[in-house]
Amino acid sequence: MSAKADTVLNTLRSLYPDAACSLMYRNPLELLIATILSAQCTDIQVNKVTPALFAKYRSAEDFASAPIKEFESAIRTTGFFHNKAKNIQGACQMIMQHFGGSVPDSMDALVLLPGVGRKTANVVLSNAFGINAGFVVDTHVFRISRRLALAKGSTPEKVEQELCRTFRQSDWGDLSHLLIQFGRSICTARNPKCGECPLKSCAGRLKSRGH
Please work out, in degrees rounded to the nearest 5, the angle formed at the alpha carbon of residue 44 by the alpha carbons of 63 and 157: 75
Report DSSP state, residue 77.
G
> What is the sign, positive or negative, of the torsion defined by CA atoms of 6, 176, 183, 138?
positive
Q: What DSSP character marks residue 211?
A: -
Please write down the long-range contacts of 93-98, taking CB distance under 8 Å and 24 or more positions apart.
93/64, 95/29, 95/60, 95/64, 96/60, 96/61, 96/64
DSSP annotation of 114 reads: T
CA–CA gap between residue 54 and residue 118 (Å, rounded): 24
Sequence-separated (6 or more) residues with CB below 8 Å from residue 166:
1, 2, 5, 150, 151
Please give the positions annotated as active site: 119, 138
